[in-house]
Amino acid sequence: MTSLAVKSLWARKVRALTTTLAVVIGVAFVAGTYILTDTTFAAFDEIFEDSLAKTSVVIGARDEVEQESGEVPSFGAAVLHRVKRVQGVRAAAGIINTPGGFFDSRGKPIGSRFAPKLIGSNRPPALESITYIEGHKPRDASQASIDEGAAEEAGLELGDTIRLASVERAKSFRLVGIVRLGDASFGGASIAGLTLSEAQRITGKEGEFDQIWVAALDGVSGAELKRRVERVAPPGLLVETAEQNAERNSNQIRDNLGFLRIALLVFAFVALLVGAFLIFNTFSITVAQRVSEFGMLRTLGAGRGQILTSVVVEALLVGLIGALLGLACGFAIAKGLNALFVAVGIDLPTTSLVLKTRTVVVALAIGIGVTLVSSFVPALRSTRVPPIAALQALEVPRSRRRGIAYAALASLLSVAGLAMVLVGLFGGANSGAAAGLMGGGTVAVILGVSLFSPRLVRPLASLAGLPLQRLRGLTGRLARENTQRNPSRTAVTATALMIGLALVAFVTVFAAGIKGSIATAVDDSFQGELVLRNSNGFSPISPGAAAAAREAPGVEIVSTLRATQAKLLGGDGGKPRVSALDRDAGSVLTIDWTEGGPETLRNFADREVILDKSFADGNGFELGDRVRFLTQIGRRPSLRVVGEFEDKADLLGSAVVTHGVMARQFDQRDDLLDFVKLAPGASIDAVQARLTRVIDRDFPTAEVMNQEELKQSQEDQVNQLLGLIYALLALAILVSLFGIANTLALSIHERTREIGMLRAIGMSRRQVRTMVRYEAVITALIGAILGMVLGVVFAALIAQPLKDDGFTLSYPVVTLIMLLVFAAVAGVVAAIGPARRASRLDVLDALHYE
């Protein structure tokens, strides 16, 4: 029976190949995700380890509240001379390692948009881990080095000018060294080196270090040296061995990028789910077509178990081959995903691709598991074939209660799924459980709809077929009738496409809502004509930018917003965002006060705080209560609540404090946003042009935007994310197109004689092609209609709890119509192969086909 399985698979190579492809794509996606993220993590680990190659102990400021932005506090340089005197220290040096911006001599940014650009300082030779592949280290305040990746990308050579920007005004340096660190590529990140004092000056850290690196004398272990250094270090500092530091960094990266792996696995799961539908359908159809073969085997004495075994072994083979191929393709997918990320400006470090045993095991388990599970029902059905089927053309017997049971199961799944989604949305569970509930609920609803969908095929096919019938009469009519002939087959094929398109519709509708909400928020909140912010959209900018703006003619007010994350003492351990505003912020921002008013801000004092209403309500704070935060540098300011606001734009975070408190207690001295209000009568364009000239020259990490540009840039970011999601969903949609092609090929195979007859009574090849093509188009449109309804309903549901935050749903009708057109075109593409085959059938052969 096993050899029969192999032979029957071999006899239907093309079909086996398409089925296998369904497994391959899903598995490759999973494997590629693991390979890519493992590689990225390995690259980070390499970078961390390589940079500390000669270092035994690392001293840094204790970071009480790790910031999402990755900013770490610096500390006073005085401790260095004490560390140097510790016994067993070979060398110790203060280090600067601060994010900044790099530009070539024409002001063009170097490196990709979202990757960090770090300004570093020279280390003494005993600690230096970078090698100079060209030139030498910077010797005075006019010289700089840069890493070879950045130099290559920007076409820089020794002697060229580069401009570096940080807290102080941007400055030009002469490139005197090109450096390399280890073997890993930095991706889009880059490092520039300066002398220590110049690095301290340009980053605004004169008399401060980001870290102190310590090298041990021979025979002194890192752990021992750490203990000795700890004795001289003040309590605000954290002393770690190099291994501990590298491990902490590595864990932090895994935490920060962990979402990436999960997100990619979600998309891989979608592709797998779609693949499972394809496998189920293919096996169902082949079992149905092999009824007489199974009957013949039964007459020869084969038992039910043997029939079952032969089908299961066939599935096992498909799964195994698919998993192995998928694993191999995983490398290509890993590269593809990386290229995709680079395209949207997320240029992650890479090293040689990492294939872990776990990846192999998971890929094999998933490939074989998915195939076995989805072929199980068809395999069981094959055992119900009676021997008499050998002699008669019989349908596979179906259990009588099947219809009712399916309908019941379908409703149960849909209702339960919907309930899970709603509980996930409104139940107040923590975010992990909520995501799980919503994900599980979504899958349940999809399964429910797909079980129910055979009943929807008839009306939907009539709907989708109507225009085709109008257009092409008979061929359109026949195409529609053909999709309705076996509704469950069409339904499974269409729902496979539905899954991908439902997600596309969902994110499309949701993104349209986000874009609309951003525009509304900007219109409602911003009174100032211009805004200064970092061109990457999230990092802080030098306070010098605001100062420069204040000097510019035509500018009346520049009001700044700084932000940091802190912990609420007695809170739930989350890291609410705390902002600082100028007292004149009321003239550039519209604040929706629920307690207090503009005068609250005008009289704002250092011991006071203004809270976001939902934050206050959630934590039971009222006017006059005291709120205590733990800040990044370990301070615990106690602040009195003097006002509350509603913040639909989520501009201010959970709490607002004065700039004084922000600087002293929260250690944030850089601006997130500067709001610029122009003097009456000043031309926006003229002031913007003037300001841009100054900013580009002195603070090039910042950019000057008017309200329209601000909206546009936010919209661009949403669009970019949308594009990324579309690209990731494309694989799932590709699988469902294979599904359409496969189902079509199998159906045509069944209808060979019928097509022969149609040709004999005068149907042309072209008409046969059209008929097959339209059948695919109708199937695709059924999937698209189901998907769009599902996607829009889900978007509307999920938008409900966000309504209070100013989220308004809008329906991008044009985009949704384009989606329908896309589905129709995709159907045409999927039908190319089957249509060609059908039209080339030899009339005589087809007529005599059994």
Partner 1 sequence: MSSADGQVVRAAGVSRRYGEGEAAVDALVGISTEFERGRFTAIMGPSGSGKSTLLHILAGLDQPTSGTVVLDGEEITGLDDGELTKLRRDKLGFVFQFFNLLPVLTAEENLVLPLSIAGRKPDREWLEQLIRTVGLDDRRTHRPSELSGGQQQRVAIARAMVSKPAVVFADEPTGNLDSKASADVLRLLRQAVDEFGQTVIMVTHDPAGAAHADRLITLRDGGLVHDAVPGSTDEVIELMKQID
Q: Does 392 bind partner 1 (CB under 8 A)?
A: no
> How near is the Cβ of 773 to partner 1 at its closest, in Å?
16
Binding mask 810-849 for partner 1 (x = CB under 8 A): ---------------------------------xx--x--
* Interface pick for partner 1 out of 760, 818, 821, 825 (rule CB under 8 A): 760
Binding mask 97-136 for partner 1 (x = CB under 8 A): ----------------------------------------
Q: Does 473 bind partner 1 (CB under 8 A)?
A: yes
C-alpha dihedral (81, 85, 86, 88), degrees to nearest 10: 120
> How near is the Cβ of 436 to partner 1 at its closest, in Å?
45
Which CB sits closer to partner 1, 168 or 775?
775
> How far is Cα 159 from Cα 144, in angstroms, rounded to an integer?
10
Name the nearest CA neighbour of 387 among 290, 287, 299.
Answer: 299
Which CB sits closer to partner 1, 228 or 769?
769
**Residue with the two structure tokens 């890192």:** 222
Which CB sits closer to partner 1, 403 or 473?
473
> How far is Cα 545 from Cα 704, in angstroms, rounded to an integer?
10
> How near is the Cβ of 481 to partner 1 at its closest, in Å?
3
Which CB sits closer to partner 1, 482 or 668?
482
Binding mask 685-724 for partner 1 (x = CB under 8 A): ----------------------------------------
| Range in contact with partner 1 (rule: CB under 8 A) among 362-370, 470-478, 535-543, 824-832 | 470-478
Name the nearest CA neighbour of 92 among 235, 237, 199, 209.
Answer: 209
Binding to partner 1 (CB under 8 A) within 569-608 occurs at none
C-alpha dihedral (826, 829, 830, 833), degrees to nearest 10: 180
> How near is the Cβ of 460 to partner 1 at its closest, in Å?
17
State how beta strands 89-95 and 638-646 pair: unpaired
> How far is Cα 407 from Cα 423, in angstroms, rounded to an integer?
24
Name the nearest CA neighbour of 29 among 288, 293, 329, 284.
Answer: 329
If one counts every other C-beta atom within 10 angstroms of the C-beta of residue 230, the result is 15
* Interface pick for partner 1 out of 125, 219, 573, 762 (rule CB under 8 A): 762
Which CB sits closer to partner 1, 249 or 469?
469
> How near is the Cβ of 753 to partner 1 at its closest, in Å?
7
* Interface pick for partner 1 out of 290, 298, 759, 773 (rule CB under 8 A): 759
Burial 166-197 (b: 16+ CB within 10 A, else e): bbbebbebebbbbbebbebbbbbbbbbbbbbe
Q: Does 391 bind partner 1 (CB under 8 A)?
A: no
Q: Does 484 bind partner 1 (CB under 8 A)?
A: yes
Give the DSSP letter of residue 636.
-
* Interface pick for partner 1 out of 11, 300, 404, 761 (rule CB under 8 A): 761
> How near is the Cβ of 758 to partner 1 at its closest, in Å?
7
**Residue with the two structure tokens 């698209």:** 784
3-state secondary structure of 641: strand
Beta bridge partners of 608: 640
**Residue with the two structure tokens 């593409």:** 829
* Interface pick for partner 1 out of 754, 820, 829, 833 (rule CB under 8 A): 754
CB 26 within 8 A of CB 595: no
> How near is the Cβ of 844 to partner 1 at its closest, in Å?
5
Helix (H) or strand (E) holding 173: strand 171-180
Which CB sits closer to partner 1, 122 or 482?
482
Which CB sits closer to partner 1, 70 or 473?
473
| Range in contact with partner 1 (rule: CB under 8 A) among 47-55, 130-138, 283-291, 752-760 | 752-760
Q: Does 758 bind partner 1 (CB under 8 A)?
A: yes
* Interface pick for partner 1 out of 451, 763, 777, 819 (rule CB under 8 A): 763
Structural tokens at position 371: 């195939």
* Interface pick for partner 1 out of 248, 384, 458, 485 (rule CB under 8 A): 485
> How far is Cα 570 from Cα 327, in angstroms, rounded to an integer?
48
If one counts every other C-beta atom within 10 angstroms of the C-beta of residue 545, the result is 28
> How near is the Cβ of 296 to partner 1 at its closest, in Å?
21
Burial 507-537 (b: 16+ CB within 10 A, else e): bbbbbbbbbbbbbbbbeebbbbbbbbbbbbe
- Count of residues in contact with partner 1, rule CB under 8 A: 22
Q: Does 428 bind partner 1 (CB under 8 A)?
A: no
Beta strand spans in 666-806 (E): 673-678, 702-706
| Range in contact with partner 1 (rule: CB under 8 A) among 413-421, 454-462, 636-644, 756-764 | 756-764
Using CB under 8 A, list all residues that contact partner 1: 473-474, 478, 481-482, 484-485, 753-754, 757-765, 767, 843-844, 847
